[in-house]
Amino acid sequence: MAKRTMSAAKNLVRLLVLVQVSLGLLGGIAALSFDYYGMTCPFAEMMVRSVVYDALMKDPTLAGSLL
């Protein structure tokens, strides 16, 4: 019984390592480019800036939390 449990644990560790490596390799491929939203939603940066500015005007202590 102990051998079966040990074998199952080893297989689980192997699977987890394989998943981590796969996600690591795919993560670099699927990264966003710097100007991604410039193409897909040109006003996204302006909208975010406006909302953050308004929030900071209401509560200046929020700036530290955003960092």
Summarised one tens digit per residue, pLDDT across range 35-44 is 778 888 889 9
pLDDT at 46 (0 to 100): 92
Which tens digit of pLDDT belongs to each residue from 24-36?
A: 666 656 566 777 7
Instruction: Select from 51, 49, 54, 20 the least CA-distant residue to 37.
Output: 49
Cβ atoms 45, 37 nearer than 8 A: yes
Res 65: pLDDT: 87
pLDDT at 1 over 70: no
CA dist., res. 5 & res. 12, Å (int): 10
For residue 31, the model assigns a pLDDT of 63
Query: Any idea where the domains of the chain sit in the sequence?
Result: 1-31, 33-67
pLDDT at 59: 92
